[in-house]
């Protein structure tokens, strides 16, 4: 495969209009779309993930939407393998493909690749028990000692990140930081990065409206139906976790809905911070379709 192939990567905060733009661009470039929204993989999670409807897709083929069950374990590493395989297929008939989503780790897995970082399921289980028994402070102290480089940059309030750092160290004897920031894997395509954003107040208003629309479409029914599976990782996410345990009290429910909006706004802020670190991202307003098409065309001439 020649590297005259182009992957149009559309990123940005939730509810910004990535789906709508991706479909417009797919029609223009006559290509197909890969979803890198890690929650849209799961077929049981329909309303709370704001998946595009068949009508919204408007005949444009989408991949990695409803491709999994919440009962299946799936990692960014597996997505890297599956997405690259799919791109190899698509590039046989088209010079363009689109990757769209706000899950930064999954986007980066496709564009840059993931390091082959070691792990051990038994050690992971022990660390989970340790966290449940002794709390996050114990994990923080250990990481500070065994990997001070990672400790300085990590989100030390995130137990999963801390446990991962300890798991890697206990498995390999090397600090987690030594496996990170290695040379990017070579790809057989060029990535053109398009970021969408708006003033913060508009982003937050869009989020609040989206949550209201989800409720109208039956979000409460969906979370109720999935309550027995609330312990699964896909459901430990914004828009689902806030509802458990379920309440029938209207005042309490109103508090939960406000919490969903608040947590989604916080998530959007983290997404913007994450993608801002990538200097390749060129930022646009969601309505700048023609400017974006020109940018993609110009990028391919350089």
| Beta-carbon contacts of residue 138 (< 8 Å; ≥ 6 apart) | 130, 131
Asked whether residue 223 is assigned to any structural domain, the reply reads yes
Are residues 208 and 77 both part of a single domain?
Answer: yes
Are residues 98 and 226 both part of a single domain?
Answer: yes
CATH number, position 212: 3.40.50.300
Are residues 128 and 202 both part of a single domain?
Answer: no
Q: Which residue has the tokens 């993931």?
A: 114
Tens digit of each residue's pLDDT (9 = 90 or more) over 201-229 = 999 999 999 999 999 999 999 999 999 99
Q: What's the pTM?
A: 0.81
Q: In 3-state terms, the chain is what percent helix, strand and coil (to 5)? A: 55, 10, 35
Tens digit of each residue's pLDDT (9 = 90 or more) over 241-276 = 999 999 878 899 999 999 999 999 999 999 999 899
Range list of β-strands (E), 24-127: 33-35, 62-63, 96-100
Domain interval for residue 174: 121-179
Are residues 285 and 166 both part of a single domain?
Answer: no
Are residues 142 and 235 both part of a single domain?
Answer: no
Are residues 164 and 15 both part of a single domain?
Answer: no
Lowest mean pLDDT among 5-14, 167-176, 202-211, 221-230: 167-176
Are residues 220 and 82 both part of a single domain?
Answer: yes
Are residues 21 and 103 both part of a single domain?
Answer: yes
CATH number, position 134: 1.10.20.140
**Domain count for the chain:** 2
Tens digit of each residue's pLDDT (9 = 90 or more) over 49-89 = 999 999 999 999 999 999 999 999 888 889 999 999 999 99
Are residues 229 and 162 both part of a single domain?
Answer: no
Asked whether residue 1 is assigned to any structural domain, the reply reads no
């Amino acid at each position: 495969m020649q590297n005259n192939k182009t992957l149009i990567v559309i990123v940005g905060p939730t509810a910004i209009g990535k789906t709508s733009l991706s479909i417009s661009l797919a029609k223009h470039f006559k290509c197909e779309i890969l979803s890198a929204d890690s929650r849209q993989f799961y077929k049981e999670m329909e309303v709370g993930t704001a998946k595009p409807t068949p009508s919204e897709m408007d005949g444009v083929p989408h991949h990695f939407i409803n491709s999994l069950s919440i009962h299946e374990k799936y990692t960014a590493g597996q997505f890297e393998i599956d997405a690259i395989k799919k791109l190899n297929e698509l590039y046989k008939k088209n010079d363009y493909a689109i990757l769209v989503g706000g899950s930064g780790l999954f986007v980066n897995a496709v564009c840059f690749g993931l390091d082959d970082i070691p792990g051990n399921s038994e050690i992971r289980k022990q660390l989970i028990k340790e966290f449940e028994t002794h709390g996050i402070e114990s994990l923080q102290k250990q990481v500070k000692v065994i990997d001070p480089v990672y400790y300085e940059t990590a989100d030390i309030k995130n137990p999963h990140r801390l446990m991962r750092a300890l798991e890697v160290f206990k498995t390999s004897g090397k600090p987690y930081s030594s496996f990170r920031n290695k040379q990017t894997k070579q790809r057989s395509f060029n990535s053109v990065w398009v970021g969408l954003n708006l003033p913060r107040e508009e982003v937050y208003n869009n989020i609040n409206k989206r949550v209201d629309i989800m409720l109208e479409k039956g979000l409460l029914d969906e979370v109720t139906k999935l309550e027995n599976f609330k312990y699964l990782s896909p459901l430990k996410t914004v828009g689902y976790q806030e509802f458990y345990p379920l309440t029938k009290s209207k005042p309490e429910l109103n508090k939960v809905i406000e919490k969903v909006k608040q947590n989604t706004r916080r998530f959007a802020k983290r997404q913007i911070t994450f993608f801002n670190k990538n200097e390749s991202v060129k930022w646009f307003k969601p309505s700048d379709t023609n400017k974006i098409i020109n940018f993609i065309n110009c990028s391919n001439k350089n």
